[in-house]
Structure 1
Amino acid sequence: MWRTRFKLLIGIAAALMLATTSMTMAVARGQARVAGEVVLCTGYGVTTVSVDAEGNPTGPAHICPDMVLAMMAAVALAPALPTPPQGEGRSVETVEPETAQAQAVVVPRARGPPVPV
């Protein structure tokens, strides 16, 4: 009996979580776009403030939920570049390739249709 109630409780919790997260994503998609950014050079460093069409600050930008999973690819480190070989450099002499000789022109031979059996 307790297993049935536990399964019901898990199902209801999953449905509520799905409903609340989908509403959050819908709200994030419906937000107004930022009109621009203002870069402020202060004594503490450079600060970027997002502003709307009238120049009022809009607050921090929210991450679009559609592309959040793609941001995990940005966490991966770049592969290490190969190091140049150590040692003395030597010049290598190149050999000129032999010139190719032209072959005889093949004349096409016509033939008749196949013999019926």
Structure 2
Amino acid sequence: DIRYVSAYNNNLMFYSDLQNNRVCSVIGNGETRFDYKNDDKLKGAAGLILDESKNVYVCEKGANVIHVLSKSGILIRKIEVCSNPTALSVSKNKKKLCIVGGGRHVTNMADIYISL
């Protein structure tokens, strides 16, 4: 169930697969670069964005965590955030993440200052 896609250029794309608990990176011809999937690591991969270094920020829906992956799919760190993060964006000055989360009838928003 692919819901979120982010592209660095025509030859590098990242997507999250909510149902299969994974984040993948593919190149222009469809070849998989990495497949970040492990039930202990990521449950409910939702929104994702890229930073200028091609690191991938992925919402883990239901776990209150953002996974930060290197461009090769290696976990760099986890950032604790608001309840049920589902989408995120980065500020123009690249110093703040805006996280959107919540449940069926509740929406939470939080700005997190971070070194991207």
Higher Cα Rg, which structure: 1
| Alignment TM-score, normalising by the size of structure 1 | 0.19
Higher strand share: 2
Point out which structure has higher relative CO (alpha carbons under 8 A, 6+ apart).
2
Higher helix share: 1
